[in-house]
Amino acid sequence: MQGTFNRYMRVRSKTGFTGSQVAQSILRSNGIHDVGVEPINTPLGDHFDPRSKKVRLSPAVYRGSSIAALAVAAHESGHAMQDKQGYAPLAFRQAILPVANFGSHMAFPLFILGMLMGYDKTGQFLMSLGIWLFAGAVLFQLVTLPVEFNASKRALTLLADGGYITQDELPAARQVLQAAALTYVAASATAITQLLRLLILRGSQRD
């Protein structure tokens, strides 16, 4: 993802729009007036926060006018549109976010503690609790996939229909968004593998 992003970060869009201008324009043109656009200092930390109603863009995206910057800005604006329209997967992801955060932090400590306690009721309970908590984190990763793919699909349409990039720049924008989506696919695959590993370890403890 970083390689593709860096490649097209060096390719300036022919329209000359910046990421912040694209995000603000998309929000306004879609009747979203309660969402602000602000810069953050985290590289590749671009995101939409539905709680504070903010589209937050990294410096290279907020001030940049590259194809990559415009693609990312449109993608995050797509999340704001999802929020306004009550897109179900996004709402569900936000609902399970606290459980997923807690599970991702506590699952492994609880599971390891259960293993150390050996094959007794308390140890088995802690291992099972760790697995269930981590399953919540896995569910969050899986729900994230349709949310991200939908936002990228919206972004390409928004960029083309709004005249923010030219037709011959669309393939490059698509590459940026596809590379970003693959990071979520990889994260989901890793999470599922970790969950299977925990299940196998618990099974070996029983044996």
Q: Give, for all 207 residues of the chain, the pLDDT tens digit.
A: 778 888 899 999 999 999 999 999 999 999 999 999 999 999 889 999 999 999 999 999 999 999 999 999 999 999 999 999 999 999 999 999 998 999 889 999 999 999 888 778 888 899 999 999 999 999 999 999 999 999 999 999 999 999 999 999 999 999 999 998 898 999 999 999 999 999 998 887 655
Mention every residue, 6+ apart, whose C-beta is less than 8 A from residue 59: 39, 40, 41, 43
User: Which residues are tagged catalytic?
Assistant: 76
Q: CA 129: distance to chain centroid?
A: 26
CA nearest neighbour of 191 among 139, 128, 146, 130: 139
Query: Which stretch of DSSP H or E encloses residue 37?
Result: strand 36-39
Q: Which residue has the tokens 């699952």?
A: 107
Report angle CA 15, 20, 24 to the nearest 5 degrees. Answer: 95
pTM listed for this prediction: 0.87
Pairing of strands 36-39, 54-57: parallel
